[in-house]
Amino acid sequence: MEYRIEKDSLGEVKVEADKLWGAQTQRSIENFKIGPRMPYAIIEALLLLKKCCAIANHKCGKLDKSKSDSIVYACDTLLLGGYHDQFPLVVFQTGSGTQTNMNVNEVIAHIAGEVHPNDDVNMSQSTNDIFPSAIHVAAVRGVVERLLPAISRLEKTLTKLEKENGDVVKIGRTHLQDATPLSFADEISGWRMSVSEGRAMIEAALPFAKKLAVGGTAVGTGINAPKDFALIVADELNKILPYGFDADCNKFHALSQKDAAVFLHGAIKALSCNLMKIANDIRLLSSGPRCGIGEITIPENEPGSSIMPGKVNPTQCEAMTMVASEIMGNDTTISLAASQGNFELNVFMPVIGFKLLESIDLLAQAIDSFDAHCVTGLKANKEKMTYYLKQSLMLSTALSPYIGYEKCAKIVKLAAENNITLKEAALSLGYIDEEKFDEIINEAIESVRRK
């Protein structure tokens, strides 16, 4: 193995000759062998920001055009891909993300040539402002480019199912017990609105994530950064990613608090909670095929058992609920980490970024899989729904305005104790005649059927 010698403020370090990084990256490799790599989405965000910072520094008169162009060229080269192995550092490192920032600075400097990783690539920046900015950029990209489109696709599928099932009436359930009827379309509309509301909450959180800490440098005062530097960086970034990024107006808040990440992830968690409920509804309603509820059928994607031939399980529902559980756990991590900032800096940023991006990617993937392999193929078992509807004792609710609550309760009790129908019980007690009973019950059923 051939090595070269790199230097930093602590002295000399041996680096493998074919690596593009420098001494600070190498020290981090040797000192932190903990957990997964830093998400590449954060590396990409840093590369985009470094490119914009180089342009801004030149426009502000701090960086000559030759160096600015070299940094821009290096960033563009790296953004084309093929250099993932040059960013090997892990999530669990310094809490500011300094080592990853320097890893990016060193690799850019190596490709650019004749530029210094600190003096030129990191000009007008501190890890304390550029790393949280990168988290925000990566998170916004993930939400806008992957998560929101996946949510919209699921909404369209549920809207289609809703329209297809307007005439199907079934029994409702509350407390896991029989309740009054509703159309299957009504039930699906609840699922659809759960997804739509979740999307709206995520969109409402995005403006806060679009605020960037860049320009605050070390503690928020902007030391070593020229006037208007942050605004120019945001403007240059919006030319590449037209998502409406802006420089945070209070850098002291931007460096020390991570409430934007908490808020955005909280909205993601809220949608995850809704999706867990929907997935659980679907797997309960499709339970069976002979000894469960069996009101709906879902696609048979793969054998469900290694020992029971012919068994098919609601695997997409199970995957969705596991992802939702993971996201709820990530929310706890992010909330705790965001609460631990001291004075002018939060030093839990790598784990906040890691968990936020993990949740975004996981949820986008899970929604697309759930949509394509489960919800799209969901079918109503109309015969089973009709059977349960006719067996339900809670249709007695429709009789209550005519004969009163107490008499209805007696009808239900008699029917349940003697295993007879609601109609048989009502007629045997003499509280209502057959013609009126049929009229009331049929009207109640028709009233929930969508026309």
Q: 66, 305, 339, 428: which is the annotated catalytic residue?
A: 305
Instruction: Please tell me whether residues 117 and 142 are part of one structural domain.
Output: no
What single-letter amino acid sits at 390?
A: K
Instruction: Please tell me whether residues 151 and 109 are part of one structural domain.
Output: no
User: Is 110 a catalytic site residue?
Assistant: no
Instruction: Please tell me whether residues 368 and 398 are part of one structural domain.
Output: no
Please report where in the chains the tokens 């499709």 appear, as a residue: 286
Instruction: Please tell me whether residues 304 and 419 are part of one structural domain.
Output: no
Residue 124's alpha-carbon distances to 110, 130, 222, 303, 314, in angstroms, are: 20, 10, 8, 58, 54
Instruction: Please tell me whether residues 207 and 319 are part of one structural domain.
Output: yes
Count of residues for the chain? Answer: 451
For the chain, helix, strand, coil in percent to 5 are 65, 10, 30
Whichever domain contains 407, its CATH number is 1.10.40.30
User: Is 66 a catalytic site residue?
Assistant: no
Averages of pLDDT over each 10 residues, the chain, 451 residues:
93 96 97 98 98 98 98 98 97 98 98 97 98 98 98 98 96 97 98 98 98 98 98 98 98 98 98 98 96 96 91 96 98 97 96 98 98 98 96 95 97 96 95 96 93 64
Domain-ending residue, one of 378, 403, 422: 378
> What is the reported pLDDT for 338?
98
Whichever domain contains 366, its CATH number is 1.20.200.10
Instruction: Please tell me whether residues 96 and 197 are part of one structural domain.
Output: no
Q: 68, 70, 152, 175: which is the annotated catalytic residue?
A: 175
Q: Residue 168: name the closest of 314, 295, 277 by CA.
A: 295
Instruction: Please tell me whether residues 91 and 8 are part of one structural domain.
Output: yes
Residue at 177 is within a domain: no
Instruction: Please tell me whether residues 45 and 150 are part of one structural domain.
Output: no
CA dist., res. 403 & res. 400, Å (int)? 5
Residue at 388 is within a domain: no
> What is the reported pLDDT for 56?
98
Residue 102 · residue 25 · CB < 8 Å: yes
> What is the reported pLDDT for 451?
64
Residue at 29 is within a domain: yes
Question: What is the reported pTM?
Answer: 0.96
Residue at 222 is within a domain: no
| Domain span holding position 253 | 132-157+185-211+249-378
Instruction: Please tell me whether residues 196 and 259 are part of one structural domain.
Output: yes
Long-range contacts of 154-163 (CB under 8 A, 24+ apart): 154/195, 154/367, 154/370, 154/371, 154/375, 155/192, 155/195, 155/196, 155/199, 157/371, 157/375, 157/376, 158/188, 158/191, 158/192, 158/195, 158/375, 159/192, 161/188, 161/375, 161/378, 162/188, 162/189, 162/192
